[in-house]
Structure 1
Amino acid sequence: MPNTDRDFIQSIERGFAVLIAFDERNPNPTLAEIAAETGLSRPAVRRILLTLQRLGYVNGVDGRWSLTPRVLSIGQHFSATHALTEAAQPHLLRIAEETGESASLGVLDGTEVVYAARVPVRRIMSINVSVGTRVPAYATSMGRALLAWSPEDRVSWVIENSRFERLGPATVTDPDELRAELADIRRRGYAITSEELERGLISLAVPVRDATGGAVGVLASSTSTGRSTLDEFRTEVEPLLTRAARRLSIDMGFREVPRS
């Protein structure tokens, strides 16, 4: 349809042009790079990015921009997450088969974790979990594994905007305690929670990292206190999740730096 058509809205065209500029070659472009890619002026790109940021579709950190999982709701041009979801499927199936428990892929969106893919095995949670379900990041192993490898400004924003309600018998409701837990998670490489999101739920999550080293998602497995203890679950599941997350991270472009 030509731009002269009176039903054609050019501002929407420009908005989608900016969204499409995020791709596998440059998932975290600068404003100048987006302007060069789209042919739009820098002031126009800036206004579009700030609008998309206010709507929750992009995020800007240190002069570079990235798509947020919210663009999954329109189903287009979130190539990084789409690739992650597709690549995660065989790993999730293997985790579920080897553990006999549900396996999930989660991504961070605002203060919440969104289930981007899931292989259910047993109904272990009273809440109905499916793809698209959202859970608070502060009270979940998935959220903590994502936050532990997030930039400090994003961690601070999530903490400042979380309500820290007590959802289970052991929910962490103190921001300082959560920060200390995030530091521990980063040291040991995984997050584990017990009876924080709800009574009887144990969950373990390991980050999936991309070429930047940041967490683009997490692989997680859950069980109930009636089926396993915290230590038993950690011993049996953590090595499986860690191996799967490392392989998936390599698929996403992550390369570990050899220790000298």
Structure 2
Amino acid sequence: MDQPGDRDRIQSLERGFAVLNAFDEELPRPTLAELAAVTGLSRPAVRRILITLQHLGYVTSTGPRWSLTPRVLAIGQHYTAAHALIESAQPHLLALAERTGESASLAELDGGEVVYVARVPVRRIMTLTVSVGTRVPAHATSMGRVLLAWADPERVSAVLGSGPLARPTARTTVDPDALRAELARVREQGFSIVAGELEEGLISASAPVQDRSGRVVAALASSTSAGRSTAERLRTDVVPLLVETARAVGAELTL
């Protein structure tokens, strides 16, 4: 049976985005056959979608291989331009990075992942390349735990109960009950610190950014490595700056 709203969805548009999203680090220049295998669509359907995207200027081909064009970046630029939060946060992120000497990031929740929407890098402390648009598991990050701590119960259940959770490192907490208890602690103390759960040696602290209605709209984070700091040092030296900066960003948002 159709779910509410299914009859209003445009299936061809969904398929088009499925093809666009199939281009990634593992398949930067896929063939039509590779795209069909990844998306589960037929080769004729993928071919029509690629031809349409090529006509619109979003993909190009060289021989049998396809690649994205710079035009796809415009989609992200439109998102940034339409969200006052990102524009307001950027100077605060820069100031935070200067005060701590560490990278500062802003992220939002999307399904079971957090997405970096603004970032000021200082040093490369992760094997994973992090930039605007990077997605990481919410349950394994301080930003994700902050966002989940203030999310509605249905959303939390959807994230924690959607199946086996990813375990990026041996230290990653994947038990749903343990994570719910941690979310309660995060909400009570007003911040989150996670060490070695997304990547060995990575320590991050996050605080919620609230709009003037009190709704948490993003998470602000500062990250460092175990070689330069400790979780306790972040708690005493960085968390107060994070909370202060998060409040300053939230104060600039309108209802």
Q: TM-score, normalised by structure 2?
A: 0.69
Change (3 A) 1:106 1:50: farther
Between the aligned partners of 1:215 and 1:80, the Cα distance in structure 2 is 20
CA shift for structure 1 position 82:
1.7
8 A Cα contact 1:115 1:132, kept in partner = yes
Change (3 A) 1:207 1:81: farther
| SS at structure 2 position matched to 1:117 | strand
Superposition pairs of residues 35-184 of structure 1, within 5 angstroms: 47=5, 51=9, 74-75=75-76, 82-161=83-162, 163-184=164-185
Superposition pairs of residues 191-230 of structure 1, within 5 angstroms: 191-230=192-231
Change (3 A) 1:152 1:77: farther
Letter in 1 for 2:9: T
CA shift for structure 1 position 51:
3.5
1:248 pairs with 2:206: no
CA shift for structure 1 position 135:
0.2
Q: TM-score, normalised by structure 1?
A: 0.68
Letter in 1 for 2:91: P
Change (3 A) 1:213 1:92: same
What is the aligned residue count?
193
Change (3 A) 1:110 1:50: farther
Between the aligned partners of 1:232 and 1:139, the Cα distance in structure 2 is 20
8 A Cα contact 2:116 2:135, kept in partner = yes
Between the aligned partners of 1:207 and 1:121, the Cα distance in structure 2 is 22
More off after superposition, 114-123 vs 244-253: 244-253
| SS at structure 2 position matched to 1:161 | coil
8 A Cα contact 1:140 1:196, kept in partner = yes
| Residue-by-residue CA offset, 1:17-47 (whole Å, 9 max, x unaligned) | xxxxxxxxxxxxxxxxxxxxxxxxxxxxx84
8 A Cα contact 1:107 1:218, kept in partner = yes
| Percent identity of paired positions between Structure 1 and Structure 2 | 56
RMSD (Å), alpha carbons:
2.6
Between the aligned partners of 1:218 and 1:80, the Cα distance in structure 2 is 19
Between the aligned partners of 1:167 and 1:99, the Cα distance in structure 2 is 26
Letter in 1 for 2:172: T
CA shift for structure 1 position 211:
3.8
CA shift for structure 1 position 248:
1.1
CA shift for structure 1 position 162:
5.5
Between the aligned partners of 2:6 and 2:166, the Cα distance in structure 1 is 35
8 A Cα contact 1:150 1:214, kept in partner = no
| SS at structure 2 position matched to 1:204 | strand
8 A Cα contact 1:200 1:225, kept in partner = yes
CA shift for structure 1 position 167:
1.3
